[in-house]
Structure 1
């Protein structure tokens, strides 16, 4: 799914979509969308040969459950889902959407909870946030989920941070900083 050193544009403001479509990334993460514009945005991305990933929790007007995942695929034709909810990730995988588990590293409790969730997830990737902190946990995640591609996100705002993330062993990263795409 993910090539080595892939920078995935995360679109939080639609005014940056055209720049993202010109990027080298084969993926676009639509971070803030609603059901009224998702189909046309997905179509526009597909016309530029980009795969569309959405964060289910950030799609306004859509239920945050397995039915919502099915609607994302069948009605909106997205290619993948990112979510911190293992049930959502597993539902996406079942219907052959790219399934990426988002793991927030807030404290030791959230890390332990995330590690337990990994045991129950069937994934195409794991995104760890925030990236500058995630670099310290790469080996633990690789051990818990061998062979699963790792992504980093959050607070990626300089070329130095990108280099740090890739040197730590991540396959890809997500960033909303258009100058880094």
Structure 2
């Protein structure tokens, strides 16, 4: 977990890559952390190697890697290809990810007050290493979750400008996940 926090203290922007075509762009940027929201079992090893060779930390979103199941074998596969951590919306995978020695980032979508309550409950029960709040524009919610769960909070989704970044950081987020290349 220290590697993630150290990387985010150097640069809190996380490049969220939604297309393999963006890998060359991210290799040229100063971001220290990359969230892979694309790829498949055939190209994952080479993608991860290219990003890691550029000195960046790599987190794969297990739910978005094509050709993988959403189970312990998928976690073991991603560990074999060299990811530093795994992002998931599935609370049941958190323990498996941590047991493999990887950083577990639980992504939660906040739609209303009930999803906020459920999200906090799941975080406290499953104990991920970090939580990614979607959408990242919900800076008041970021503050509430940060106060309640005492683990690093990452804001992601709909982050389009520096004001969005400043609002999230000032309310407790340690990092910002964005696919907006201008912010990388």
TM-score interval (norm. to shorter)? over 0.9
Q: Counterpart of 2:65?
A: 59
2:152 corresponds, among 143, 149, 152, to 149
* Matching of residues 1-181 of structure 1 within 5 Å: 1-2=4-5, 3-4=8-9, 6-74=12-80, 76-133=81-138, 135-146=139-150, 148-181=151-184
Unpaired runs of at least 5, structure 2: none
Q: Provide the C-alpha distance between the structure 2 equivalents of 1:142 and 1:165, rounded to a whole number of angstroms.
A: 11
Q: What is the distance in 2 between the residues matched to 1:41 and 1:84?
A: 22
The number of residues matched between the two structures is: 178
Runs of 4+ more than 4 Å apart: none
Tell me the TM-score normalized by structure 2: 0.91
Deviation at 1:8, TM superposition (A): 0.6
- What CA distance in whole angstroms lies between the structure 2 residues aligned with 1:151 and 1:177? 16
Q: Unaligned regions of 5+ residues in structure 1, if any?
A: none
Deviations 1:8-44 (A, max 9, x none): 1011122221221222222111101111110110110
Q: Work out the CA distance in 1 between the residues paired with 2:57 and 2:134.
A: 22
> Aligned with 1:128: secondary structure?
strand
RMSD between superposed Cα atoms in Å: 1.4
